[in-house]
Structure 1
Amino acid sequence: MDVQKPNERGRGRPKKGREYDADSLFEAAVACFAEQGFDKTSLRTIAVRAGVDVALISYRYGSKLGLWTAVVDAVAQETLTQLAVSREESRHSPLDEQLHRLCIDLVHLVNRRPLFAQILISEIMTSADNERKTVIEQKLANPIYGLLLKYIQEIRGEEETGAKDRKLAVVAAISLIGVVVPTRTFLRRFVPIGDEPDRLLEELADIVKQMLT
Structure 2
Amino acid sequence: MTHTEAPRGRGRPRAGQETDLPRLLQGALDAFAEKGFGGTSVRDLARSLGVSHGLLTARFGSKEGLWFAAIEHALADSERAWREVGDSPDLDDLEALRQGIVRQVLASAAHPQMARIMNHEGAIDSPRVRFVVERFVNPLRPGVERLLARLVDAGRIRPVPYATLHFLVVQGGGAQYASPAAAALLGAPAHPDEQAVRAHAETVADILIAGLAVTAPGSDGGP
Name the TM tier (shorter chain): 0.7 to 0.9
Following superposition, the deviation at residue 55 of structure 1 comes to: 0.3
Match of residue 146 from structure 2:
150
Supply the AA of the counterpart residue of 1:139: R
Instruction: Tell me the distance in 1 between the aligned counterparts of 2:85 and 2:53.
Output: 38
1:115-143 Cα deviation digits (max 9, x unpaired): 12211122213xx4623222222223333
Higher-Rg member (1/2): 2
Q: What is the aligned partner in structure 2 of residue 177 from structure 1?
A: 173
8 A contact 1:121–1:179 mirrored in 2: no
Cα deviations by residue, 1:171-194 (Å, 9 ceiling, x for unpaired): 34233224344124413433x3x2
Counterpart Cα distance in 2 of 1:5 and 1:103: 28
Q: Indicate the larger mover: 4-13 or 50-59.
A: 4-13
Deviation readout 1:38-75 (Å, 9 max, x if unpaired):
11211122213333211011112111011102222343
Amino acid at match of 2:107: L
2:185 corresponds, among 177, 184, 189, to 189
1:6 aligns with 2:5: yes
> Any unmatched runs of 5+ in structure 2?
214-223
Determine helix, strand or coil for the equivalent of 1:142: helix
| Residues 164, 64 of structure 1: alpha-carbon distance in 2 compared, 3 angstrom cutoff | same
Asked if structure 2 preserves the Cα contact closer than 8 Å seen for 1:148 and 1:170, the reply is no
Q: How far apart are residue 9 of structure 1 and its match? A: 2.2
Deviates more, 1:144-153 or 1:199-208: 144-153
Q: Find the counterpart in structure 1 of residue 36 from structure 2.
A: 37
1:165 shift after superposition? 3.9
Q: Kindly tell me: are residues 184 and 210 of structure 1, through their superposed partners in 2, closer, same or farther at Cα, counting changes over 3 Å? A: farther
Please, which of 85, 95, 98 is the counterpart of residue 96 of structure 2? 98
1:139 corresponds, among 132, 135, 141, to 135
Task: Give TM-score, length-normalised by structure 1.
Answer: 0.76
Alignment of 1:51-62 (within 5 A): 51-62=50-61
Deviations 1:60-91 (A, max 9, x none): 21110111022223434442223223456x64
Task: Report the Cα distance in structure 1 between the residues aligned to 2:211 and 2:172, rounded to whole angstroms.
Answer: 10
Between the aligned partners of 2:109 and 2:142, the Cα distance in structure 1 is 21
Give, as a single letter, the amino acid of the residue that structure 2 aligns with 1:135. Answer: F
CA contact (8 A) 2:121 2:128 kept: yes
Q: CA deviation at 1:13?
A: 1.8
- Aligned-partner residue type, residue 210 of structure 2: Q
Contact residue 145 and residue 170 of structure 1 kept, 8 A = no
Give the distance between the partners of 1:152 and 1:35, measured in 2 at CA.
Answer: 35
Identity %: 24
Residue identity opposite 2:101 in structure 1: C
Higher helix share: 1
Give the deviation of 1:11 after TM superposition.
Answer: 4.9
* Helix, strand or coil at the partner of 2:165: helix
Partners of 1:134 and 1:31 in 2: how far apart?
Answer: 21
Distance 1:117 1:46, change over 3 A: same
Instruction: Quote the Cα distance in structure 1 between the aligned partners of 2:147 and 2:48.
Output: 39
Deviation digits for residues 86-116 of structure 1 (CA, Å, limit 9, x no counterpart): 456x642344432322221111111110112
SS of the residue corresponding to residue 19 of structure 1 reads coil
Deviations 1:21-54 (A, max 9, x none): 3211110100111122211211122213333211
SS for the counterpart of 1:39 is: helix
Match of 1:38, SS?
A: helix
